[in-house]
Amino acid sequence: MELTKNEVKSLAKALGMIETRGLIGSVEAADAMLKAADVRLVKQEKADAALVTIYVEGDVGAVQAAVESGREAAARVGELIASHVIPHPDDGIKKLLQTEESKTSAKPSGNPAKGEAREKAAGKKATGNQQAVKE
């Protein structure tokens, strides 16, 4: 998922980030951030099998409050790795977010034969599930 031009321009206020180990902590953090202040979820990024970073944007004060709430929530249910707020991020940061997301989405999936086998297996499972639902 690449950020649109409007999404990149909107990061001019403040950018807040929370990195967690595990999906549950990141979802809890995102929920707390969105409920705590008037911020917008920009994206969620998975660094590897365990690390997940949540990005939010909004006014500096709102982002600071949201990140603090998100930190507490993530620490309660999972493992908080890091958090940070960048007030008025430079255009280079905005471009970095676009570039990193583009690299991730363009990454090849590895062995094509394994990918085809997975697709066939997934298709069989989906067909079986669909039949069970229809009955």
What's the CATH code, domain 5-134? 3.30.70.1710
**How far is the C-alpha of 78 from the C-alpha of 53, rounded, in Å?**
13
CA nearest to 83, candidates 9, 30, 23 = 30
The three-class DSSP label of residue 95 is helix
Q: Is 126 exposed, middle or buried (0-12, 13-18, 19+ CB in 10 A)?
A: exposed
Give the per-residue pLDDT at 8: 54
- Cβ pair 61, 69 in contact under 8 A: no
**How far is the C-alpha of 129 from the C-alpha of 105, rounded, in Å?**
29
Task: Return the axis-axis angle of helices 23-36 and 60-77, rounded to nearest 10°.
Answer: 140
Give the per-residue pLDDT at 96: 82
Q: How confident is the model at residue 98 (pLDDT cuts 50, 70, 90)?
A: confident
The sign of the torsion formed by the CA atoms of 10, 12, 16, 17 equals positive
Write out pLDDT tens, residues 49-73.
899 999 999 999 999 999 999 999 9
- Among 13-17, 76-80, 89-93, name the one with the lowest average pLDDT: 89-93
Write out pLDDT tens, residues 2-61.
556 655 555 558 999 999 999 999 999 999 999 999 999 999 999 888 999 999 999 999
Give the per-residue pLDDT at 74: 96
Domain ranges of the chain: 5-134
